[in-house]
């Protein structure tokens, strides 16, 4: 096994890690602020990719504009869902599971009916392949990597350096105190959920040209999100980053060196072990 082999594995690992980090951050944001499990998270990922396809195919927009529009639309849908559907299930994990499950079913079947059940694709704005010492790095793989980093930095900046971000962090920390300080809790909840969905949709938009688009593409990312979130700690964003990197590396290396079934079982085994010995996860707060 030479350097090219390991390099290729590392490239794959990086793409996977960034995808997982984006998804897990969105999920953790929602869990941290509202205290619910969003089963429709993978579906927003799918919607992000599907909207990009729709805007690019039906209206001929460029990938960049289609991507922004797609993310904005996902934001809007997330906001509306939280505002009108999810008030009653705040903090109620079981109820939130059922309602987000219902949303999953609605969005998935709607996507299948409206855009068809076959696999679709969007062309990437960049083409060509770089050869790094024997390992292949297509430019269209670089784009999602860069895009994901940009999104993560934007998120970081938003949460750390803006007033809105501060209010969200306050609500996560202590809801009553935040309310006493004059923060509009309802608004924060809707904002948090919408941003969570937007992050999932952003992941979908970035991955769309790399892989293909179908109405069921959200189920595997949802599983992986659960794994990352448990590993890193429910509700912890730094945990999501660390665990995302870890899972990306494990997935890539174990699949390449052994097989994908082994990677699955390995992943599950890790989770069960972690949950038994350190349920908080690597950096969890509860």
Partner 1 sequence: MKLKRLKLTMPVLYIFVAAIILLALPYITGVNSYWLRIFVIIGINTVMALTLRLILLTGLMNLAHPTFMAIGAYFSIFAMTRFQLPFLVGLIGGGLVAGICALILSYPFLRVKGVYFFLITLTFLEMFRIAISNYWRDWFNGADGIYGLMAPTIGGFQFTSLAPFYYLCLVVLLITFAICWRIEKSWSGSVLLSIRDADMLSRCVGINIMSWKAYVFVIGCSLAGVAGGILAFLVGGVNPNNFGFPYAVDIQVFVIVGGMGTIWGPILGALLFGGLGDFLRGLGGYALLVNGSVLVLIILFLPAGLIDFPSRIRQLIRRPAVDAREK
Partner 2 sequence: MLKRWTSIGVALVVAVSLVVVFLARYAKPAAAEKTGTFVIGAITPMSGLGASWGIPQTKGLGMAVDSINKAGGVRIGDTHYAIDLKLMDSKLDTAEAVSCCHKLIEQYKVKAIFTSDSAAGVAIRDIRDAAKVIGMDSGWSRDISKGTKYQFRFQPGSYETSLALYRYIKKIDGPGTKIAVLDPDYEGGWADTNYVKSWAKKYNLDLVFSEFYTPGTKDFTPILTKLLRKKPSYIDAGCSGGDYPILIKQAYDMGYRGTLIYKGDTMVRDMLEIAGPERAFGVHATFGLLDFVSKKATSEQRAVYKKVMETVGYVNTLLFTSYDGVFMLKQAWEGSGSLDADVVCNWLRTHEWHSIARGENIRVAPEAAGIYHGNKGCATTAPVSLVQMRPGGIYESWCLEAPEWESEFHEPPKNIKK
**Measured from the CB atom, is 91 or 134 closer to partner 2?**
134
Taking CB within 5 to 8 Å according to partner kind, which of partner 1, partner 2, none is near residue 16? partner 2
Least distance from C-beta 34 to partner 2, angstroms? 28
H or E element in which residue 241 lies: helix 237-257
The beta-carbon contacts of 55-59 under 8 Å, at least 24 apart in sequence, are 56/122, 57/122
Taking CB within 5 to 8 Å according to partner kind, which of partner 1, partner 2, none is near residue 9? partner 2
- Among 143, 156, 268, 263, smallest CA distance to 206 is for 143
Taking CB within 5 to 8 Å according to partner kind, which of partner 1, partner 2, none is near residue 220? partner 2
The DSSP code for 131 is: E
For 130, list phi and psi in degrees, rounded to 5. -100, 145
Angstrom distances, CA of residue 262 to CA of 84, 226, 257, 267: 42, 18, 10, 8
Contact between 70 and partner 1 by CB under 8 A: the answer reads no
**Measured from the CB atom, is 59 or 118 closer to partner 2?**
118
Least distance from C-beta 113 to partner 1, angstroms? 6
Q: Which of 14, 29, 46, 99 binds partner 1 (CB under 8 A)?
A: 99
**Measured from the CB atom, is 59 or 117 closer to partner 2?**
117
Contact between 180 and partner 1 by CB under 8 A: the answer reads no
Give SS3 for 8.
Answer: helix
**Measured from the CB atom, is 155 or 206 closer to partner 2?**
206
**Contact stretch for partner 1 (CB under 8 A) within 67-75, 145-153, 160-168, 262-270:** 262-270
**Measured from the CB atom, is 103 or 183 closer to partner 1?**
103
Strand partners, 275: none
The DSSP code for 235 is: T
CA angle 105, 106, 107 (to 5 degrees): 95
Angstrom distances, CA of residue 47 to CA of 78, 85, 252: 11, 19, 26
Reported as half-sphere exposure (CB side, CA atoms, 13 A), residue 182 has a value of: 1
Binding site for partner 2 (CB under 8 A): 5, 8-9, 11-12, 15-16, 108-109, 112, 117-121, 129, 136, 138, 207, 211-212, 214-217, 219-220, 251-253, 255-256, 259-261, 264
Write down the residue that tokens 């608004």 correspond to.
Answer: 187
Q: Which of 108, 141, 188, 198 binds partner 1 (CB under 8 A)?
A: 108
Write down the residue that tokens 């999810």 correspond to.
Answer: 86
Taking CB within 5 to 8 Å according to partner kind, which of partner 1, partner 2, none is near residue 271? partner 1
* Rounded Cα–Cα distance for residues 96 and 92 (Å): 6
**Measured from the CB atom, is 207 or 234 closer to partner 2?**
207
Query: Site residues (CB under 8 A) for partner 1?
Result: 37, 85, 88-89, 92-95, 97-99, 101-110, 112-113, 117, 223, 226-227, 230, 234, 261, 264-265, 268-269, 271-272, 275-276, 279
């Amino acid at each position: 096994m030479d350097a090219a082999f390991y390099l290729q594995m590392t490239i794959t690992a990086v793409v996977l890690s960034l995808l997982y980090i984006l998804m897990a951050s969105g999920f953790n944001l929602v869990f941290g602020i509202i205290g619910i499990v969003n089963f429709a998270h993978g579906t927003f990922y799918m919607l992000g990719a599907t909207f990009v396809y729709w805007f690019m195919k039906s209206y001929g927009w460029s990938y960049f504009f289609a991507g922004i529009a797609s993310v904005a639309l996902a934001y809007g849908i997330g906001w509306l869902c939280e505002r009108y559907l999810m008030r009653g299930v705040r903090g109620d994990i079981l109820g939130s599971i059922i309602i987000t499950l219902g949303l999953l079913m609605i969005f998935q079947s709607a996507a299948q009916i409206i855009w068809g059940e076959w696999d679709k694709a969007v062309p990437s704005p960049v083409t060509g392949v770089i050869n790094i010492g024997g390992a292949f790095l297509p430019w269209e793989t670089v784009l999602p990597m860069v895009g994901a980093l940009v999104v993560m930095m934007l998120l970081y900046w938003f949460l750390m350096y803006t007033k809105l971000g501060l209010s969200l962090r306050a609500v996560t920390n202590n809801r009553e105190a935040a309310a006493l300080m004059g923060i509009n809790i309802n608004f924060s909840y809707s904002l948090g959920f919408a941003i969570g969905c937007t992050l999932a949709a952003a992941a979908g938009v970035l991955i769309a040209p790399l892989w293909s688009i179908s109405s069921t593409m959200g189920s595997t990312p949802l599983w992986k999100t659960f794994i990352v979130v448990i590993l890193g700690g429910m509700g912890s964003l730094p945990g999501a980053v660390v665990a995302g990197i870890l899972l990306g590396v494990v997935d890539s290396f174990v699949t390449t060196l052994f097989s994908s079934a082994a990677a699955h079982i390995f992943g599950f085994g890790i989770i069960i072990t972690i949950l038994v010995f350190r349920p908080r996860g690597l950096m969890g707060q509860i």
